[in-house]
Copies of this chain bind each other. A is one copy, B any other.
């Protein structure tokens, strides 16, 4: 089962040619979840062969243009392409009013956009059979949220040889995958651990952008498999970063270490950085399992 994150844009406020404004796409089992929607997101989706029509939910972190200005165009294109399925949009409360204004001057999309205002308190905001999504506040110049996407515990896998050996009826298989023991016709109890092997471990991904260094987020991202944490600046710009409520490479790496993340992806680079390798090296001095977000990169978990 797929659980992957594709970076559609990794730039800070000002996009550059090879780095569009912020957007990430999470794919789980054929379903698409879009996180932030900077200008040009719909073009990036096309560039990387990802159909916008498959997006079920959009999560918007905060009301800055470089995280939202792609939304009117994306909704418009979905409508023109004949979308009828409702879209769930999670974002700061003012986002709903902003979109109403866009609809008033242009046209509303021809499908339903179901808006969910992000809560002030950390909270689970979405759940389906395979996944939960929770949000929590970051610390930026305006209200900003981080998101954690968490697969549900996966069922154990039944051993085919045991099905044959004990002649297990098909009707009993779901129960055994869920952890039941099996009772044979003779009344013998076969313990579950003999019949099954563990399923693939549940995977998780957290998105934290934009934010200054802030340990308050640690409980909500603890143990995450992949942490995306912004690193707008190099370490020598720590004062500037704090002033504008952004993070340096080293801030991001410290958060990853304290959160016991398995892997860190940095991004949201200031347009002034032509070369990203030095940013990567800085982060790795603190947290070795760091990678660079680049437009088009897909991380499979």
Within 88-104 of A, Cβ neighbours of B (below 8 Å) are at 94, 97-98, 101-102
Proximity string of chain A (10-28) to chain B, C-beta cutoff 8 Å, 1 when within and 0 when not: 0001111100110000000
Identify whether the interface residues of A are mostly helix, strand, loop, or mixed. helix
Determine whether A132 belongs to the interface, using a CB cutoff of 8 Å to chain B.
Answer: no
Interface residues on A, range: 20 to 34
Q: A76 to chain B: which residues have CB within 8 Å?
A: 13, 65-66, 69
Q: A39 to chain B: which residues have CB within 8 Å?
A: 39-40, 42-43, 69-70, 73
Cβ of A199 to closest chain B Cβ, rounded Å: 38
Determine whether A165 belongs to the interface, using a CB cutoff of 8 Å to chain B.
Answer: no
Our pick among B15, B63, B105 for the contact of A101 (Cβ within 8 Å) is B105
**A94 and B105 contacting across the interface, CB-CB below 8 Å:** yes
Proximity string of chain A (32-47) to chain B, C-beta cutoff 8 Å, 1 when within and 0 when not: 0000000110110011
Determine whether A1 belongs to the interface, using a CB cutoff of 8 Å to chain B.
Answer: no
Q: A14 to chain B: which residues have CB within 8 Å?
A: 77, 80-81
Q: How far is the CA of A176 from the CA of B124 in the complex (A)?
A: 80
- With A17-B46, A40-B39 as given contacts, are A98 and B105 in contact (CB-CB < 8 Å)? yes
Our pick among B16, B17, B70, B97 for the contact of A105 (Cβ within 8 Å) is B97
Supply 8 further A-B pairs (C-beta < 8 A) apart from A64-B106, A101-B101: A14-B77, A14-B81, A15-B73, A21-B73, A40-B40, A63-B106, A65-B76, A69-B76
Closest 7 CB pairs of A and B: A101-B101, A98-B105, A39-B73, A40-B40, A69-B73, A65-B76, A17-B47
